[in-house]
């Protein structure tokens, strides 16, 4: 049997207890808030959420509710144990399940959170710099060629920092609460 691939953020939201019965738009908004990425259009995120919910429906974790209306699509959690099994096992390269990792020590989690806060601050700083570069170019278009290199460098730093933030958030999220 092929392993079920579902984004951990989606499973995390379903396990949070906030979504016993939910519509796709409500779940989409919560997903966007959780991942902190509002740059993608709502339609694209809705499609992603629908794909994952269909996978979860096929495995029996959620069930589509017949509301008599075509939209919005509504779901309810059918089998919470199936959600638990999605987060407690990982598959290795051979497809065999790997046991969930032991929880991280409080000191490690504290260090990860400190790094996360630093990177979030760096992201805010980069965002401010990008906005300022754009404002300068709007006010003085002649400076665009001079600023473009620094603007590109700042965007690249922002993207790298965003990757670090997401990596740290996923590590912290994988750690079971004490």
Predicted local confidence at residue 108, as pLDDT: 82
| Burial tier of 66 (Cβ tally within 10 Å: 0-12, 13-18, 19+) | exposed
Predicted local confidence at residue 85, as pLDDT: 65
Predicted local confidence at residue 73, as pLDDT: 80
Predicted local confidence at residue 101, as pLDDT: 46
Q: What does pTM read for this prediction?
A: 0.46
| Tens-digit pLDDT string for the chain (178 aa) | 455 677 777 777 777 777 778 888 888 888 888 777 777 888 888 888 888 888 888 888 778 888 787 778 887 777 777 666 665 444 444 444 444 445 667 788 888 889 989 998 998 999 999 999 999 999 999 999 999 999 999 999 998 988 888 888 888 777 655 4
| Burial tier of 136 (Cβ tally within 10 Å: 0-12, 13-18, 19+) | middle
Predicted local confidence at residue 132, as pLDDT: 94
SS3 content of the chain, % helix, strand, coil (to 5): 65, 10, 25
* Residues 6+ positions from 38 with CB-CB distance below 8 Å: 32
Token pair listed for 37: 């990425």
């Amino acid at each position: 049997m092929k392993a079920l691939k579902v984004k951990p953020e989606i499973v995390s939201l379903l396990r949070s207890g906030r979504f016993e019965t939910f519509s796709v738009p409500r779940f989409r908004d919560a997903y966007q808030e959780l991942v902190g990425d509002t740059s993608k259009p709502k339609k694209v995120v809705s499609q992603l959420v629908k794909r994952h919910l269909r996978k979860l429906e096929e495995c029996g974790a959620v069930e589509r509710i017949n509301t008599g209306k075509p939209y919005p699509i509504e779901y309810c959690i059918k089998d919470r144990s199936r959600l638990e099994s999605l987060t407690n096992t990982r598959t290795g390269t051979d497809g065999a399940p790997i046991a969930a990792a032991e929880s991280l020590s409080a000191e490690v989690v504290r260090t990860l959170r400190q790094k996360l806060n630093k990177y979030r601050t760096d992201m805010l700083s980069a965002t401010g710099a990008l906005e300022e570069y754009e404002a300068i170019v709007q006010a003085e278009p002649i400076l665009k060629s001079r600023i473009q290199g620094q603007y590109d460098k700042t965007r690249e730093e922002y993207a790298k920092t965003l990757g670090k933030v997401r990596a740290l958030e996923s590590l912290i999220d994988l750690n079971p609460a004490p």
